[in-house]
Structure 1
């Protein structure tokens, strides 16, 4: 009997270790396969069925955790991304009033991503308190609450919620209760906020890699006359050094080229894996065109000459409609690869239902997007023809599923 018990214990221990390296995908990736129109891609992905195991993949990059269903940048969201097999997990990095780094998508988004407005003591510290909409004048509801309004200790008392606010709300409750119908509040009863160091410790314990994004400050820098942009950029890297994280496991990001250049100059081991996030379509609206290289300043070769190795634009900039309803790489994608730049795309599963074209992230291929299954068509082109290193996703299970099916890392 003792021998049997000992044997069972060994089997269970081995199973637990094995299960820790398996991804839990749930039904969504298979729903997307079912939604694909008949063809070779559907046949291939259908053959990659539910009766097999799936492993974590670096191709699957967690965007803010798993914000399709969990409050973003919370411990719960990170754990969901881990379980869905995200090989790289993101923390957008902002700073508090006492200059501590925390995970938040924007320095000034606490009024839409946390319960701060329902906490009178902390709401009083906001840069701008809640102001209801006024239908008579057309004024929209608004507020502005920043990480730099609070100390780290105050920040940690907040609860994360789904990122949303109703600009037409005339009451605080209505302003906060605005989650889009295609997301859910089912898992938003708790949302444990994290400092950057807590995120590092958690992701390290899970055995995954890191991609911190240094957020563009929304307060004048130097902050309070003394905290400079370079100190902020250096503080991000210093947290990894203090935790003993090798540079090879970290992909620091920024929308500001100056931050990437700072890391390259001051910490080249980390700088070599730095990701330049390209939002010139918004910053240079009306001038930037991914099909016209003359509108790209700096150009691809110039970026490479500056030391940039990884470029990350939104999904739509990397693709365009091809013949007969297909999707093909854009001029932007082809020229980036020609210049030797590696590519990462953002962000899958952030658009809601794709019926009718899919909105911002699918704007360049809207004529050939008809339904949710087209997320997998886009993913397939990004992998096979564009050759991206990975894809940020609000629901990493989809990218994990695809990467396992096609053998992506």
Structure 2
């Protein structure tokens, strides 16, 4: 598909003027530009010489850019904005994310809100600076003790608060310092490669508010049902009720299942949706986290895949969503090639979506977790596009979650991806 027209559904947008970030008065929607800013072009400039760099350079900064479904907003735009906030969602939409995520958790009064984890409020909000609410945390701040080696810690959960209490908080950049001896130092620990420049305001969102906002932006939805960090049932609230409540919110809002990609790390949630809400279930993404939970898992050894690809398709799964590194490995002559896991998924007829681009900080030292299977090949920020190109062309991914959607939006426009 070529460049979408400015008024076309949720692939709306306009254009970047030079390399400047155009600031809009309202949210990106009908008639508003896809504002890429300088980062995609900085990444191209830092690439190794070759045909891919030449093609991306030829794409240019003065052509029209529009939102694309290939570009999926991961938690908003948390490279620079507090995650799961209204401000982050608007930034993601302005950067052309065609699909925007809300990680769904529940409050003490069983209301659904956007938060990456049920128990991350101590790292992602100002709750520790609010004594009345910090006192309600499962565990208030405990300072580090260098003498004993104890690390600083806190545990503040959405389920510790009512919806009204949750909504009174302010979002901040996700960070905490395990060596801190004061709560201020613990909370204010944003990595140097991120920024607090846009963290003075972080408007938290309910799941319903997220749906309403994304609907007005003309983008699609990808809610993730977060694994509860409290015993279930919670005050009589079962896992199935929780999974159903998330879907009911879209039905109440009149959002068709075709515009919603539910996610979960728990396969049991996917199977529940396939049975109870098959139209939504067929759209669901299983976030395969076996790399973290199964010490025997190896993306190059099919015998370690439990369940295997054929079992997953037999269960009705259509889309698998593993982390970036699981889909690639080092190939001959220093190339990046699809992993056996990726090839088997495609052979089994499974679509692939992956996460999360632009979450690793500077790549000069190999890129960390998200690049671990190809670390010897990663030594500069421009390698972001080298990986992305293999994921699209050779692995065949249908979309990429990104902490800074402009990067994936730029690539999708340059390659004419929807």
Which residue of 244, 247, 263 corresponds with 1:253? 263
**Which residue of structure 2 aligns with residue 200 of structure 1?**
211
Q: Larger radius of gyration, structure 1 or 2?
A: 1
CA distance in 1, matches of 2:319, 2:30: 33
Which residue of 269, 274, 295 corresponds with 2:279? 269
Q: How is 1:9-408 mapped onto 2 (pairs within 5 angstroms)?
A: 20-224=31-235, 226-285=236-295, 287-408=296-417
Given that 2:29 and 2:218 are in contact with CA atoms closer than 8 Å, whether structure 1 keeps it comes out as no
Deviation at 1:223, TM superposition (A): 0.3
Deviation at 1:19, TM superposition (A): 7.1
Deviations 1:16-56 (A, max 9, x none): 99973531000000000000011000000000001111000
Deviation at 1:356, TM superposition (A): 1.4
SS of aligned partner of 1:26: coil
Deviations 1:179-218 (A, max 9, x none): 0000000000000000000000000000000000000000
TM-score by length of 2: 0.93
Given that 2:102 and 2:114 are in contact with CA atoms closer than 8 Å, whether structure 1 keeps it comes out as yes
**Relative to 1, partners in 2 of residues 1:203 and 1:18: Cα closer, same or farther, differing over 3 Å?**
closer
Given that 1:21 and 1:55 are in contact with CA atoms closer than 8 Å, whether structure 2 keeps it comes out as no
CA distance in 2, matches of 1:301, 1:164: 40
Given that 2:140 and 2:154 are in contact with CA atoms closer than 8 Å, whether structure 1 keeps it comes out as yes
SS of aligned partner of 1:87: strand
Deviation at 1:153, TM superposition (A): 0.6
CA distance in 2, matches of 1:238, 1:19: 27
TM-score by length of 1: 0.95
Given that 2:29 and 2:217 are in contact with CA atoms closer than 8 Å, whether structure 1 keeps it comes out as no
CA distance in 1, matches of 2:154, 2:358: 27
CA distance in 2, matches of 1:136, 1:392: 42
CA distance in 1, matches of 2:136, 2:102: 24
CA distance in 1, matches of 2:273, 2:168: 32
CA distance in 1, matches of 2:181, 2:35: 41
SS of aligned partner of 1:391: strand
Given that 2:29 and 2:216 are in contact with CA atoms closer than 8 Å, whether structure 1 keeps it comes out as no
CA RMSD of aligned residues (A): 1.3
CA distance in 1, matches of 2:414, 2:230: 45
CA distance in 2, matches of 1:22, 1:346: 25
Given that 1:21 and 1:56 are in contact with CA atoms closer than 8 Å, whether structure 2 keeps it comes out as no
Number of equivalenced pairs:
394
Regions of 4+ moved over 4 Å: 14-19
Deviation at 1:323, TM superposition (A): 1.6
CA distance in 1, matches of 2:141, 2:180: 11
Deviation at 1:256, TM superposition (A): 0.4
Structure 1's unaligned 5+ residue stretches are 1-13
Given that 1:109 and 1:145 are in contact with CA atoms closer than 8 Å, whether structure 2 keeps it comes out as yes
Deviations 1:77-117 (A, max 9, x none): 00000000000000000000000000000000000000000
**Which residue of structure 2 aligns with residue 8 of structure 1?**
none
Structure 2's unaligned 5+ residue stretches are 1-13, 16-23
**Which residue of structure 2 aligns with residue 5 of structure 1?**
none
